[in-house]
Amino acid sequence: MEDRTQTLNRRKVFKQWLFALLSLVIVVQLSCNFFRGLRSSDPVSSTLDSLYAQQTDLYETLSAFTAIARQGDSTRVAQSTLDASLTTATAQARLVATLASSPQSSVTPGLPVDPDERLLKSARILLFEDMSASPYIRIVKEALDTGGYFYLDVGSAKGWFKTQLLSGMEWDLIIAAAEANREFGGEFFEYIDAHVARGAAAIVENWDFDLAPRGKAGQFLNRCGVRFQTDWFEPNLRVFYWLQPDHPVFNRPNSIPPALRNARRIWTGDIGDLLEGDSTISTDESAPIFLAGTNPNQKNQNAVLASCLGGRVIIQTFRTHEYHHDDMLMLWQNYIYNALTSYFSQTGKSVPTPAVTALANPEVTSTPAGPTPGPDYIFEHGCDGIFSIKLTEAPRFQRDLFEHHAEGQFLILDILYQNQTEAPIMVWDGDYSVEGRLAERLLEYQLNREATGYLFIEGAGELVQDVIGPGEKRRVRLAFDITPKGEDWELVFRPGSEFDSVVCEARIPLYR
């Protein structure tokens, strides 16, 4: 009986030893491979060196176990050694799993580094989307709004779009989404091309490049290294395929499914264009990449989506609303993100100065710079010696601005402020607000973007968000959609507050 018990104990110990051995084999193999790959892609490896050394120790332990096994004497493995080995194996497995899920190890090779959120938000974006005059959801506008971008929206107004393209403003990204059955004049391609030649990014959706009068789209397409091939006329299946599924446009920040889901049909006849490459016009600088096309086996023809100029220009020749809303929303979010990422990478622009923190005064003060025999808003107010600010006109209320942009009752303020420091300061659109009271309740309103954008288009001053140089003055017109029942309104100017880097605060009472 005693011999049987000893035999069972030996088998039990052997099974534990075997489990530890197998665990260590798996962990050492996986983790060594993991660390080897991670070390080759991550220049910061001091921590990994230490961890790799632990893997070496484990390997030596494994070798000792193997030698014992070859001698056929499993009883020489002490229970404490087995317990320690199992603990080590478990800890190492958890370590590998944790590191494998960390941001450092999850970066896909070949993809650019994510830009700072403030850098993306600092971009000057101009949006033309001709579906604003239709009953359909504006998917491009929704993509910008959900991404938190700052942009000027001209809707479907081609006159406003032309004015802004020719205004002298150096736009960072121009978006022209021309989907509707309306002529999108060839001159717009010339204006967009001029900005692209300067270095701006552009995203163009157009279903009828060959309709552009007198071939004026040609220079823009040539710069991208592509040309019109043929119309995509009433196909039996409105289906196309990813030609470069690993491209960032399909993976950052959203993972786009390999086939877009169709929505209900809106357009008939000519529903899009097909593009092809042309070695006679393509250059190393343009280097077009065809991302999607109607034939998965043709990488240089029958394309409906292309990227060029290092990714800062994207051309889409199919119509957005022909496909499922959620798919297209994510795809447009990726267009915007990747075009701006490429633009900032190529231009070398850095994160704008969020604040002059060295000048920040923790004791915030805001007092008129002069006597107050009249309303406070007519006098210049100080912002801790960093900005001066005043209203240039009396506050006014207005109902319902331009129909496509804003409906409501707006408090409109005309402001002049000046950077009084010797350093540039970034002012964000979230740095302005108004506060008031309704009975005993505090009211606070941020800028209404659409109404404020309309006021800028109408011809008042500069963009409300920009880098303000030393000594530079800025005239802006602000619109706040407020309740008409509020009282004791104040304008609150807190530069840097949108990104928690407030340098000063000025409060201007709007009525005595």
Q: Residue 327 pLDDT more than 90?
A: yes
Residue-wise pLDDT tens digits, 268-319: 888 889 999 987 776 666 689 999 999 999 889 999 999 999 999 999 999 9
Cα–Cα distance for residue pair 344/284, rounded to 1 Å: 20
| pLDDT (0 to 100) of residue 368 | 56
CATH superfamily for domain 117-347: Class I glutamine amidotransferase (GATase) domain (3.40.50.880)
Q: What is the DSSP string of 434-472?
A: EEEEETTEEEEEE--HHHHHHHHHTT-SS-SSEEE-TT-
| Long-range pairs, 300-305, Cβ under 8 A, ≥24 | 300/276, 301/229, 301/274, 301/276, 301/277, 302/229, 302/274, 302/276, 303/226, 303/229, 303/243, 303/274, 303/275, 303/276, 304/232, 304/240, 304/272, 304/273, 304/274, 304/275, 305/240, 305/249
Q: Give SS3 for 427.
A: strand
Q: Residue 250 pLDDT more than 70?
A: yes
CA 78 to chain centre: 57
Across 146-155, 330-339, 408-417, least confident range: 408-417
Residue-wise pLDDT tens digits, 128-151: 998 887 788 999 999 999 999 999
Q: Give SS3 for 283.
A: coil
| pLDDT (0 to 100) of residue 506 | 93
Residue bearing tokens 């959706």: 205
Residue-wise pLDDT tens digits, 12-22: 545 554 454 44
pTM of the prediction?
Answer: 0.75
Distances (CA, A) of 148 to 61, 119, 329, 468: 53, 12, 14, 21
Residue bearing tokens 């119509």: 319
- Select from 380, 376, 382, 378 the least CA-distant residue to 363: 382
Q: Torsion angle of alpha carbons 112, 118, 123, 129, nearest 10°?
A: 90
Class of domain 357-509: mainly beta
Domain boundaries, the chain: 2-100, 117-347, 357-509
Percentage of the chain lying above the pLDDT 70 cut:
70
Residue-wise pLDDT tens digits, 454-508: 999 988 789 999 999 999 999 999 999 998 888 889 999 999 999 888 889 999 9
